[in-house]
A and B are shown apart, each in its own frame.
Chain A
Amino acid sequence: MANALYDFGREGFLDGSIDWDTNDTRVILIDEADDTVDLAADDNLDDRAAGSRVATSSAMGSKTVTAGVADAADVTLSAVTGDPSESIDIYKHTGTESTSRLICNIDTATGLPVTPNGGDITIAWDSGANKIFKL
């Protein structure tokens, strides 16, 4: 597929339920073999099978929204073990899976798919014009 916003993530930006630079947003490594992404139907984290979530980050830091471009500090997932991961999800973390809105799915990245080896995995966002994504 291609990197894309979830429809409900896009909706969240428009209805104000997602505030990129103030909400707690996190990154998940996803094993697509355990749960195929559905950009139109998946709305919250509970729509991604628990078994597909290989590793979850802490809250993303240094987020910016300038000119509609979402950016953040690079994310490091520590001591990752588990299945090979084909994509990365970003979601709004509320502490409750059924209300944690999925924002985007990234399956096109240098280094994907990645097979965890127990070491750290760092996700370095693009430093070009589009950063993580541009609305």
Chain B
Amino acid sequence: MIVDERSTINVAPVEGGRVGLRLSDKARGLMDWSTAQAIARELRALAGAAIGMVFYKFNLDGAPVYIDFDTATAQALADALYKVSLVAEEEAKAERIALDTAILYRAGAPIGLSNHPVIIDEARKEAAWNTELRRCMPGGVKSEETFGTPSVLLGPAPTIQ
């Protein structure tokens, strides 16, 4: 088998940041998304590479292992990696998404920019308590109550006898 080294993809461990995404960090400014951002970038690159992939090489116990792909498999792998990269990107940008969602909440447009429950929960807290938002958009979080549209029916005027 002829090995084309250009098709070999190495995912190096990311140094520095945490691997786990800690969306539970409550205090703003303490979140470290660098690792998640790196993972998202790697996955996106993998997805792009997978489209044209005909084989994949990885090392197992020091020995190279090659996996052959047909086009459909490569495409499926690319699609799967792309979806995972989107999820990773969402988590990498969780703080920004939460803040953008908080602005919408405070403006009275309860449109979630994510369906990640932790991000939405964080957005609600930011909308209510973020000092800058409270200063720039006073008046609190607009209520989400909804009304029906009643009908006011005017009866006939009384007749004079």
Partners in one complex: yes
Closest Cβ of chain B to A58, distance in Å, is: 17
Cβ of A5 < 8 Å from any Cβ of B?
A: yes
Closest Cβ of chain A to B146, distance in Å, is: 5
In the complex, A111→B146 CA distance in Å? Answer: 19
Cβ of B156 < 8 Å from any Cβ of A?
A: yes
Instruction: List which B135-161 residues lie within 8 A (CB) of chain A.
Output: 143, 145-158
Tell whether, in the assembled complex, residue B148 and residue A112 are in contact, meaning their CB atoms are under 8 Å apart: no
In the complex, A135→B143 CA distance in Å? Answer: 9
Tell whether, in the assembled complex, residue A110 and residue B145 are in contact, meaning their CB atoms are under 8 Å apart: no
Chain A contact residues, majority secondary structure: loop
CB < 8 Å A-B pair total: 87
Tell whether, in the assembled complex, residue B158 and residue A79 are in contact, meaning their CB atoms are under 8 Å apart: yes
Cβ of A122 < 8 Å from any Cβ of B?
A: yes
Closest Cβ of chain A to B153, distance in Å, is: 4
Tell whether, in the assembled complex, residue B152 and residue A121 are in contact, meaning their CB atoms are under 8 Å apart: yes
Tell whether, in the assembled complex, residue A106 and residue B150 are in contact, meaning their CB atoms are under 8 Å apart: yes
Given known contacts A110-B152, A111-B152, A112-B152, is B147 in contact with A133 (CB within 8 Å)?
yes
Chain B proximity mask over A116-135: 1 for CB below 8 Å, otherwise 0? 11111111111111111111
Q: Show 9 residue pairs from A and B whose CB-CB distance is below 8 angstroms, ordered by the A residue.
A: A109-B152, A121-B155, A122-B153, A123-B151, A123-B152, A130-B147, A130-B148, A133-B148, A134-B145
Which residues of A are interface residues toward B (Cβ below 8 A)? 2-5, 10, 79, 88, 104, 106, 108-112, 114-135
Which residues of B are interface residues toward A (Cβ below 8 A)? 143, 145-158
